Amino acid sequence: MASVGTLSHLRTAILGLTALLLVAPRLAPQQEPGAANEETVASLAAGRVVIAVVKGAILIGTIENPIEADTRPPTPVEIGSERVGVILGTVRWSSPSSQREIARLDEDLPHLRSAAVTQTPHLATEATGAEASDLEMVGRGLLDRLNEVAQDLHGKVDMPANEPLAELIIADYFTGYGPEVWQLSYGMKQQEETPGYWTTRVLLPSYVQTYPPEKGQPRTLVEFAYPPENPPPTLLDLLRRKDPRLESLIASDPKMAGVARLLLAGESTKILPADATQFLRAALDAIAPPSTRETMAMISEEDGFSWILPPPHEQPLPGIAPNRPPQAPSLLHPQ
């Protein structure tokens, strides 16, 4: 990790989630235990995100970790022509009891901006003030949306400590600055107001810049996993260990071998986008568990966002009506 942004925000009482379903009864303050409840259920985007900053482009590849039946693959979302976000953790909120979808954070993400961020950024970064402020606007916008949903959680939610409710991975290009990768982590805090009745608040995110690295450090793959407990070996670690699945891939093609060599040497920015795409697609296929879903997108410095492997067709949750108009922008065709 290169540096940690300094924000005036809370960093305490961070709770997390490793199961697929986050379920809590929704009780109004005047309701007594045993009254009619509405469940709020959160489906997770779980798996790994692998980002390669290469010559003139950023590649974002994801592999699903199907920890439960309706886990979603982490999916790149176009926020702007030169910015992509990937949400890990709680991404789809629904109510089985009322058969309605409450929120789809991945579909909301392109439109989430917070007016609470001032023009003077709190975030410490080498980028310009306007860029730092814009990054915070996206981060705070997602925070506001998470709090809109979490305010209906009035039952005690027991989750392992030190694990975020959600994470937002942002990869982008800034004019005059270059490629960046940020990790935003959102914790949650609950307080018992009356016996059995809790209020829920999502905390201001922490900001960690994972690319570019510090001066003199290698420029290579950046990877994230959710749930963060007991993550699988990174693709870079597997290359270092000469994993047989990757060794056979490298031996099959001199270009593959050249990409692997530059990644291990910390010189990813010397790799051509076409060669990096071929290698990353084949490598992720090689290490992905059977029947898991994958996605891949690219941000070209010249041409902006494009799909390499779009997200698979999504099955609706059983008995849940989508909370979106029929003509709303989709992940496949953002507007």
pLDDT digits (tens, 9 = 90+) for 270-292: 999 999 999 999 999 999 999 99
pLDDT at 155: 82
Domain membership of residue 258 (yes or no) is: no
Domain membership of residue 48 (yes or no) is: yes
pLDDT at 30: 39
For residue 326, the one-letter residue type is P
pLDDT at 235: 98
Q: Kindly report the CATH number assigned to the domain that includes residue 112.
A: 3.60.20
Backbone φ/ψ region at 124: left (φ over 0), alpha (ψ -120 to 50), beta: beta
pLDDT at 10: 25
Range of the domain at 23: 3-231+289-309
pLDDT at 303: 93
Domain membership of residue 16 (yes or no) is: yes
What is the sign, positive or negative, of the torsion defined by CA atoms of 209, 210, 212, 218?
A: positive
pLDDT at 42: 83
Domain membership of residue 158 (yes or no) is: yes
DSSP percent split of the chain into helix, strand, coil, nearest 5: 20, 35, 45
- Residue 28 gets which letter from DSSP? -
Domain membership of residue 95 (yes or no) is: yes
- Name the token pair of 283: 């490598």
Q: What is the pLDDT along the chain (335 residues), one digit of tens a residue?
A: 444 333 222 222 222 333 333 444 333 333 444 334 567 788 899 999 999 999 999 999 999 999 887 889 999 999 988 999 999 999 999 887 778 889 999 999 999 987 666 544 456 544 444 556 789 999 999 999 999 998 888 888 877 777 899 999 999 998 778 999 999 999 999 999 999 899 999 999 999 999 999 999 999 999 999 998 889 999 999 999 999 999 999 999 999 999 999 999 999 999 999 999 999 999 999 999 999 999 999 999 999 999 999 998 776 655 565 555 434 443 433 33
pLDDT at 101: 87
Domain membership of residue 256 (yes or no) is: no
Domain membership of residue 58 (yes or no) is: yes
pLDDT at 267: 98
- Name the token pair of 111: 């439109």
User: Number of folded domains in the chain?
Assistant: 1
Domain membership of residue 265 (yes or no) is: no
- Residue 321 gets which letter from DSSP? B
